[in-house]
Amino acid sequence: MKNELIKNTVILTVITLISGLLLGTVYEVTKGPIAAEEERAKKAAWKSVFQDAADFEEQEFDAEAGKNILSDAGLTAQDIDSVVAASGSGGESLGFVIGVISHEGYGGDIKLSVGIRNDGTVNGIEILSINETAGLGMRADTDEFKMQFENTQTDQFVYTKTGATADNEIDALSGATITTNAVTNGVNAAIAYFSSLEGGN
């Protein structure tokens, strides 16, 4: 019986070692393509929210200062993820693309890019990562919903369940108020951070 136990232990150890080596190999093989795809998706999002931009340049930013700015604006469930300067074909500054992570989603974090022109106009939004309920919260990633934020100059968006009547009002997604709130606050976080940037309002 003792020999059987040793044999089984050795077999399990070998299986574990092989599994670990295989997982490590798969990770090494896939991490490059995954990183490349994430980079491609990120740059595609920049272009989506700033279609007239010819160049984008990632900026250094202070994440802790960003948290303080958002906290002062009452947005404690959001984080600034990235800041990218957008410029035209002649090198002129057009505005910024602010990357935001909203931690208020029903199904987890929602990652989005928000393009804001130098005059404070929201040029567009693009969702990079979302895992909400199919047919409900996932509708936040439709053009119909996202376009409500476009070409609007405001200090803050609000959502309504009774039909938008003002430029800064967003029609809430039916059955997905939590998702609507998460995305809306994500855009508001980008606006709040933009106001602190040189060239911001």
- Residues 24-78: tens digit of each pLDDT: 776 666 666 666 767 777 889 999 999 999 999 999 988 899 999 999 999 999 9
Residue 199 pLDDT level (bands cut at 50, 70, 90): very low
153 is written with which tokens? 């100059």
In this prediction the pTM is 0.81
- Residues 6-17: tens digit of each pLDDT: 776 777 787 887
CA atoms within 13 A on the CB side of 153: 7
Asked if the model's pLDDT at residue 150 lies above 90, the reply is yes
Q: What is the mean pLDDT of the chain?
A: 89
CA atoms within 13 A on the CB side of 128: 26
